[in-house]
Chain A
């Protein structure tokens, strides 16, 4: 039976703002504000959104690289939401991270062997020879040449450096890896190589990924389920195909229509694309009601008052929007009712995605 390896409930990460003579706290940047999701074992959850929406903070908070403001995180059956740092150390080998900028996340004064071997020194009691063997095995695994073991990071290209970062994350046989924009700094032809490597490793080692990216087309390729974030909240969470073929939240629709298609014939047809006006509001001062109400093309009166609940509107398909919430549909007179026919057969609404994960089992087994 597939069970969630990672359970995140109502995760909150607020960064305080201090100001004035006595550095008193005057407010908080709500980078992540009540996010819940599950990741099943062996699955890839894609997390997409614009820069500043809190997706990277969310990924780091899940690994407890921050002291979180609220909520609970359960990884591999162990609740780590409020564990102190020392207790977390024993948990670190199970959860690892691949960082965005391969240049900045590798120590320029350490050799390839030392970088990949460091987690082994910290967390295992391997002898020097065992470590060396393991490092060579890892270098092979990520498709680098064993002869490079004494080279320094500057001697490698961007794609190779990202492979080093992946090898380091794999060193302790983790179950769960957070990939924070691992391909954003790479060229198109190199991006495909790294994504294929991540997929191969997942097949071979049974890894579970949280794949954070702003590249919607790449997420469509790699993820099994996709969560869309806007201003610290998940606005839509759905299986990949459902999200891309039938997006429900207006923000997801706008985001998908903004992606340029590498085909001039299609580009011609897409003239009806939704261009959002304005910018993302500041997370220190989010608007009242729905976070998206300042830019939403389908905005209703209720959106300025009430923050929409995150509801399951189709099996496994969650969204936080009043357009899809029957309690508020009355306020919408003649809007686009594309979900009406789905209402009949849809399951009772549930408030947390726990059961959402269960209803997915049919597809996965």
Chain B
């Protein structure tokens, strides 16, 4: 499995290999994550894009055992956090990892904060649990964190409850909680999807700023290609529970190789540049993941589909330095200029 150009073990914070997650439901199994492999380097921001149901959130939740089991079952794979396999870790060890070494920001800031505790308590909880600070030290740290994420009058707001904050402010509190114990890795699951564009711009600004100050690795899950283009170093595109393309951000947007990525980039209208008379569409629906894949998940919607796509599931292959795609079609292996010239 290709792992990018410089997949050296030493600089990977997280290395995920061949992860399979299955949900057992009354109407049969759902194979939500199929053989997903990726790595996150130190200080890197990895963007993960895909439609809803493509398995991006389930993948990240599988990593630190956040999925309820049953129905979820992580069937196989390795999740190496600094060389330690989290799938084999004890529940006690996992509790140390969650909130301590790995921070998690959830999509909806309203439902992920506890409405009956004040914000100060919720920020201090992980600090006291993981870092062993006493109440006063934890309080100082909480004020420092709220300052860091740009909440004005931080000391005065520790006693406030989540409903007294606006959506953008709540998401800042979530970021503060995730950062509380200086995590090695921050997983942000659609952190700006529920927010307005002007508030989203504020949050993106804070994240850029914090990355420079703290230097942790970030996995940023989103369905908004614009956000990824602005902040990511490397991008993972997921479809039907699989990684279909992985590349640094510039090649991915300028020279996408997988037909799904190409189509996705065309469907998004822009606020500047030429305005198309008609939007490009990807016909059809995303696949239902009822069984382990035996063929390409994108075959029913792919404009370039041919016989082999129905028989085999394409593996990820290196198509350029640091750039891999899971597609059999020869156009995935040719650069855009050459593909256009031959077309």
| B339 in contact (CB, < 8 A) | no
Report yes or no: A264 in contact with B253, Cβ–Cβ below 8 A.
yes
Measured CA separation A266–B224 after assembly (Å): 16
Contacts of B286 in A (CB 8 A): 187, 189
Which residues of B from 185 to 206 have beta carbons under 8 Å from A? 196-202, 204-205
Report yes or no: B279 in contact with A196, Cβ–Cβ below 8 A.
yes
The 8 Å CB contact of B285, one of A159, A220, A276, is A159
Report yes or no: B197 in contact with A216, Cβ–Cβ below 8 A.
yes
Min CB distance B139 to A, Å, is 26
Stretch from B82-90, B93-101, B225-233, B321-329 forming part of the interface with A: B225-233
The 8 Å CB contact of A262, one of B204, B270, B285, is B270
Measured CA separation A214–B224 after assembly (Å): 14
Report yes or no: B267 in contact with A260, Cβ–Cβ below 8 A.
no
The 8 Å CB contact of A263, one of B51, B52, B229, B269, is B229
Min CB distance B199 to A, Å, is 7
| B304 in contact (CB, < 8 A) | no
Stretch from A115-123, A250-258, A314-322 forming part of the interface with B: A250-258
| A65 in contact (CB, < 8 A) | no
Contacts of B167 in A (CB 8 A): 51
| A349 in contact (CB, < 8 A) | no
Measured CA separation A263–B204 after assembly (Å): 16
Interface band, chain B: 35 or more
Given the known A-B contacts A217-B271, A221-B269, A260-B226, are A189 and B263 also in contact in the complex, defined by CB atoms under 8 Å? yes
Report yes or no: A260 in contact with B224, Cβ–Cβ below 8 A.
yes
| B275 in contact (CB, < 8 A) | yes
Given the known A-B contacts A188-B51, A196-B281, A264-B250, are A276 and B268 also in contact in the complex, defined by CB atoms under 8 Å? no
Measured CA separation A187–B52 after assembly (Å): 7
Contacts of B196 in A (CB 8 A): 50-51, 214
| A265 in contact (CB, < 8 A) | yes
Which residues of B from 168 to 213 have beta carbons under 8 Å from A? 168-169, 196-202, 204-205
- Indicate with 1 or 0, residue by residue over A176-191, a CB within 8 angstroms of chain B CB atoms: 0000000000011111
Which residues of A from 279 to 305 have beta carbons under 8 Å from B? 279
Contacts of A190 in B (CB 8 A): 51
Chain A CB within 10 Å — which of B205, B230, B250, B276 has the most? Answer: B230
Given the known A-B contacts A196-B281, A254-B198, are A275 and B226 also in contact in the complex, defined by CB atoms under 8 Å? no
Number of A-B contacts (CB under 8 A): 123
Min CB distance A221 to B, Å, is 4
B301 — nearest CB in chain A belongs to which residue?
Answer: A189
A270 — nearest CB in chain B belongs to which residue?
Answer: B230
The 8 Å CB contact of B275, one of A50, A220, A257, is A220
| B265 in contact (CB, < 8 A) | yes
Report yes or no: B166 in contact with A279, Cβ–Cβ below 8 A.
yes
Measured CA separation A263–B229 after assembly (Å): 6
- Indicate with 1 or 0, residue by residue over A203-216, a CB within 8 angstroms of chain B CB atoms: 00000000000101
Report yes or no: A244 in contact with B271, Cβ–Cβ below 8 A.
yes
| B223 in contact (CB, < 8 A) | yes
- Indicate with 1 or 0, residue by residue over B255-267, a CB within 8 angstroms of chain A CB atoms: 0000000011101
Measured CA separation A254–B197 after assembly (Å): 10
| A126 in contact (CB, < 8 A) | no
Contacts of A241 in B (CB 8 A): 275
Report yes or no: B271 in contact with A216, Cβ–Cβ below 8 A.
yes
B50 — nearest CB in chain A belongs to which residue?
Answer: A187
Measured CA separation A159–B250 after assembly (Å): 31
Report yes or no: B230 in contact with A260, Cβ–Cβ below 8 A.
yes
Min CB distance A254 to B, Å, is 6
Report yes or no: A261 in contact with B197, Cβ–Cβ below 8 A.
no
Measured CA separation A157–B267 after assembly (Å): 19
Report yes or no: B270 in contact with A217, Cβ–Cβ below 8 A.
yes
Report yes or no: B279 in contact with A195, Cβ–Cβ below 8 A.
yes
| B254 in contact (CB, < 8 A) | yes
Which residues of A from 213 to 258 have beta carbons under 8 Å from B? 214, 216-218, 220-221, 241, 244, 254-258
Report yes or no: B226 in contact with A188, Cβ–Cβ below 8 A.
no
Report yes or no: A260 in contact with B198, Cβ–Cβ below 8 A.
no
| B133 in contact (CB, < 8 A) | no
Given the known A-B contacts A159-B285, A187-B52, A279-B168, are A261 and B270 also in contact in the complex, defined by CB atoms under 8 Å? yes
Report yes or no: B267 in contact with A258, Cβ–Cβ below 8 A.
no
| A273 in contact (CB, < 8 A) | yes
Contacts of A261 in B (CB 8 A): 226, 229-230, 270-272
Measured CA separation A157–B263 after assembly (Å): 20
Pick 26 A–B contacts, CB within 8 A, sort by A: A50-B199, A157-B285, A187-B52, A188-B223, A189-B264, A189-B267, A192-B267, A192-B281, A193-B281, A216-B271, A217-B268, A217-B269, A220-B270, A244-B271, A256-B271, A259-B197, A259-B226, A259-B271, A260-B227, A262-B225, A264-B249, A264-B253, A264-B254, A265-B254, A277-B202, A279-B168
Which 3 pairs of residues, A with B, have the shortest CB-CB distance?
A: A260-B226, A258-B201, A50-B196
Interface residues of A (CB under 8 A from B): 50-51, 157, 159, 187-193, 195-196, 199, 214, 216-218, 220-221, 241, 244, 254-267, 270, 273, 275-277, 279
